[in-house]
Structure 1
Amino acid sequence: MQLTAQRGTAAPFAALLVAVLSFSLLQTMPVPALPDLQRAFGAGPVTVSWVLSAFLLTASVATGLLGRLGDMFGRRRVLLACLAVSAAGTLLAALAGSIGVLIAARAVQGVGAATFPLAFGIVRDGFPRERVPVAIGWISSTFGIGFGVGLVLPGLIVDALSWQWIFWLMLVVILAGLVAVWAFVPDSPARAPGRLDWAGAVLLTGGLVALLLAIGQRWGLAPRLGLLAVAVVLLVVFWVVESRLAAPLIDVSLLRRRSVLTSHVTALIIGFGMYGAFTLVPLLVETPSRLGYGFDASVTGAGLFIIPMAVTMLFASPLAGRLGARVGFKVPLVAACVVGAAGFVVLAVAHDTAWPIYLANGVLGIGVGLAFSALANLVVAAVTPAQTGEATGINTIMRTIGGTFGAQIASTIVASSAGESGYTTAFWLSAAALAVAALSALAGPGGRRA
């Protein structure tokens, strides 16, 4: 049943914000604590990197699968299940006595990635139509909030307490989201009849896992090429199988719609470009100044450089919703790419002092906020309510794959270059990627709806 009064939307909307914030925190909070985890468990850098990789792999698979399950069986029900599984994984992480258990716990936590497509679907089902774009913008902006908090807070927690308290704090947020969704978010009658396509689920899972391992792990060239070949074969077979089923796991025919296809391609390129800043700026500012660049920042200090991005993202995402509702979401998406490219140009030419980095991160936050909100709204407007979960889930997967690839390429450029020049090259590459993303966004149809 649609929520028509403002008072009726406030509590469900707040509950959804807490739910999606919990996933945003899960994604980033363990990152600053990786050196402490490596020392605590006596693990090598490759092993401890699986604390991130395991989460990313599960998140990429769960986003599409559970978004589709929400379309089939009810988004509130599946969202509650996702939050419960994430809470169980977070509790296991807090109690982990070995690096293997912690990696397994992080894989379980990745199920929480489906909160974003499920929340978008709930908003579309239950909110008044005129409020949907802004609500999606606010939900998208929680990525910035969680990202900024997730980089600053863990350093303080580890210094004052221990790494376990990072997960205890996340558990509290997840449980708060679980209770709030259960208490305030009504169920929706919208359903997409069908049965679960197990063959498609296995093929998609295998293809995504192979692809993300190929681009996200620093193995030899031969294993990575082999994994890439496996990924291509599995995803091609997945496409063929899904195109022939009456009730597929993911309706691949959606990609024949220009608005959906260009949104997914643009999300892939934006992820490639934007995630370079998330990876490189902390590394740059933590570099000892005796090398001729860097700012000797601590983990907490490095997080402070990201705060302008989180703040501007918080305001840019709702703005994209309001602007898009008036002139179409193609406009804020193109603007997002142009603004983001400008931010990376500033980083490329003026990263030898602190204030341009703060300025550039603020500019990038505007670009990220506009992009995430516009992409979500473009996809939601291009599909039927019954397809919202799977369509927005795939868009999130594309952004994640692009981000994984972009972070890997950026890190490789810095590692293989002498000193500061690697950062300059990587920032120019991100600027170029966002310029290409602007062209991709321009290729999409104009107007509010497909």
Structure 2
Amino acid sequence: MEDPTSTARPGGIVGVLAVAGIVAALMQTLVVPLIGELPQLLDTTASNASWVITATLLAGAVAMPVIGRLGDLYGKRRMLLACTVPLIAGSVVCALAGSLVPMVVGRGLQGVGMGMIPLGVSALRDLLPPERLGSSIALMSSSMGIGGALGLPVAAAVAENADWRLLFWGSAGLSVLVAVLIWRLVPGIPPRTRGRLDYVGVIGLGIGLVGLLLGVSKGADWGWTSGGILGLLATSAVAFVAWGWWELRAGDPLVDLRVTARPQVLLTNIASVVVGFAMYAQALIVPQLLQLPAATGYGLGQSMLAAGLWMAPSGLMMMLISPLGARLSAARGPKVTLFAGGLVIALGYGSSAVLLGSTWGLLVVTCICGVGVALAYGSMPALIMGAVPLSETASANSFNTLMRSIGTSVSAAVVGAVLSQMTMQVGGYSLPSEAGFRTGLMIGCGASLLAALLALTIPTRPSRPAPKHAAPVKRPATVPVGSSVG
């Protein structure tokens, strides 16, 4: 049994878990300022250096549903603390790395630690009173966007003015701080279910995800019709079919596909893929527009640090809008909030048609998109947890976060393909053309509108299933427990 912290207060719990989510999300943008220098720093090729980013993506995608299931089985506080271990270890390994292999290993460990974000969202359901739950879940769910937006200028400032290794020593220190805060301020949460980890399901899902995400992320580099990419995608398809067959027959499945198939859960997960796609398109395009030389006629000639600072306000907007989104969900339902989020993201993309030529214009575009992302991301956990048993909240939220990650990966592949095909020559170099950037932004606009339409199809009266395999548990006596969402 985990030791509850007798002095815990709801405000402290929300603050700690939000900080934990933001620190975990920082790992996504930590190496962005170093991308151009990694081949020299690690004595490798540019193609091999891309594994520094790919490793985090793959490890996080595979780890999230596993960590979520472990949280349901063994306690969410225990697994939150466990997630800080790979964050700390990965940061230290990267800080000491002098070649590609240890850097990739360290980045993979950091990706595993990102499983604390959906785990923290589900922990709030166990620890908070109903009146505090909506706004807290919205803030925690938006932490991925907030951490990504705020992390870029900080990482750029360190990379430009100090030793790059300080980035990783700093992330290690922050991860230690998060571990201490969780240990001191987050009460023990007894397991919600009994059973064992589905190891066959873990392996099957891992093979399917690695094949899919690696095929999507490396398609442009290796060639979409190359044997390697086609083999990866085919292996992924076979693995997913076999995994689904196994999960439907397993006594303790990693992911309960029958629950996942409920209309509210299924449609929310599909919408999550599309919102992830829409969110990431502008995150790829805007930094390039800010940093391309002004000689192109559409680039704005900003440094990496300046570009990060221009994009940082979007993260602040997410933080400010999250509580408002929770109020909208409480008044009208999270389905309406998801619909509104999709429309606002589309508005942000649409505004780029007239705001593309200035730094202030791009600031407005990213802030509008940030508002939409905060609304959409904040509504998804409420929709998911309103339709799944208490015994499966962590695994269901982790699977939903995985859906967002798949959306961002597909977005990177599609936008990258568009920009690589629509180019112009500047000073002997091939650069994405203005038409390519505008096309990418309009694709993001279309995806946002599709997400809004999908939100309209989500059932308005969620079912309230009885907890599956839920063991009688003693709730933490000092912290009120919220038992419903939305």
TM-score after normalising by structure 2: 0.89
Q: Which of 220, 225, 236 pairs up with 2:230? A: 225
Show CA shifts across 1:354-410 (max 9, x none).
222111111001001011100121112211121111111111111101101101211
CA contact (8 A) 2:146 2:319 kept: yes
Whole-Å separation in 1 of the counterparts to 2:122 and 2:340: 25
Is 1:392 the counterpart of 2:397? The answer is yes
Distance between the aligned counterparts of 1:136 and 1:119, measured in 2? 9
* Residues 1:427 and 2:441 are matched in the alignment: yes
In structure 2, give the amino acid aligned to 1:398.
Answer: M
Shift in Å at residue 314 of structure 1? 0.9
Please provide the CA RMSD for this pair: 1.7
Question: 32-41 or 263-272, which moves further after superposition?
Answer: 32-41
Shift in CA distance, 448/132, structure 1 to aligned 2, threshold 3 Å: farther
Q: Which amino acid aligns with 2:243?
A: F
Which position in structure 2 is the counterpart of 1:68? 69
Partner of 2:94: 93
Query: Is contact 1:349–1:424 with CA below 8 Å preserved after alignment?
Result: no
Relative distance call for 1:411 and 1:348 in structure 2 (3 A) is: farther
CA contact (8 A) 2:276 2:408 kept: yes
Matching residue of 1:77: 78
Identity of aligned residues (%): 35
Code of the residue aligned with 2:123 in structure 1: it is I
DSSP 3-state at the match of 2:356 = coil
Q: Quote the Cα distance in structure 2 between the aligned partners of 1:449 and 1:313.
A: 30
What is the alpha-carbon distance in structure 2 between the residues aligned to residue 448 and residue 135 of structure 1? 21
**1:41 equivalent in alignment to 2:42:** yes
- Structure 2, unpaired ranges of 5+: 424-432, 465-486
- 1:200-349 equivalent positions in 2, closer than 5 A: 200-217=201-218, 218-220=221-223, 221-222=225-226, 223-349=228-354
Q: Is the aligned partner of 1:404 residue 2:409?
A: yes
Q: CA deviation at 1:350?
A: 3.0
Distance 1:180 1:449 in 2: 36
Supply the AA of the counterpart residue of 2:22: L
Q: CA deviation at 1:343?
A: 0.5
1:439 aligns with 2:453: yes
Structure in which a larger fraction of residues adopt helix: 1
- Counterpart in the other structure of 1:150: 151
Q: Does 1:357 align with 2:349?
A: no
Alignment-derived partner of residue 180 in structure 1: 181
Matched residue SS, 1:43: coil
- 1:10-47 residue CA offsets vs partner (Å, 9 max, x unmatched): 22222212211211111112112212222212322211
Deviation at 1:448, TM superposition (A): 7.4
Could you say what secondary structure the match of 1:428 adopts?
helix
Q: Which amino acid aligns with 2:339?
A: V
Instruction: Tell me how far apart the structure 2 counterparts of residues 227 and 14 of structure 1 sit (CA, whole Å).
Output: 41
SS of aligned partner of 2:91: helix
Higher mean alpha-carbon deviation, 129-138 vs 71-80, is at 129-138
Deviates more, 1:281-290 or 1:143-152: 143-152
CA contact 1:348–1:423 (8 Å) conserved in 2: no
Q: Deviations over 1:57-82 (max 9, x none)?
A: 00001110110010011111111111
SS at match of 2:247: helix
Cα distance between partner residues in 1 of 2:37 and 2:273: 32
Deviation of 1:447 after TM superposition, in Å, equals 5.3
CA distance in 2, matches of 1:96, 1:212: 25
Preserved contact between residue 270 and residue 399 of structure 1 (Cα < 8 Å): yes
Contact 2:355 2:365 survives alignment (8 Å):
no
* CA–CA separation in structure 2 for the residues paired with 1:353 and 1:12: 41
Show the counterpart of 1:117: 118
Any conservation in 2 of the 1:15–1:181 contact (CA below 8 Å)? yes
Q: Which AA in structure 2 matches 1:441? A: A
Distance 1:160 1:284 in 2: 23
Q: CA deviation at 1:249?
A: 1.1
Deviates more, 1:87-96 or 1:409-418: 409-418
- The TM-score, its normalising length taken from structure 1, stands at 0.96
Aligned to 2:429: none
1:8-23 equivalent positions in 2, closer than 5 A: 8-23=9-24
SS at match of 1:195: coil
Alignment-mate amino acid for residue 423 of structure 1: F
Which residue matches 2:474?
none
Q: Note if contact 2:346-2:444 (Cα within 8 Å) is conserved in structure 1.
A: yes
Contact 2:264 2:384 in 1 (8 A): yes
Tell me the SS of whatever aligns to 1:296.
Answer: coil
Q: Distance in 2 between matches of 1:255 and 1:141?
A: 22
Q: CA deviation at 1:308?
A: 2.5
List gaps (5 residues or longer) in structure 1: none
2:333 partner amino acid: G
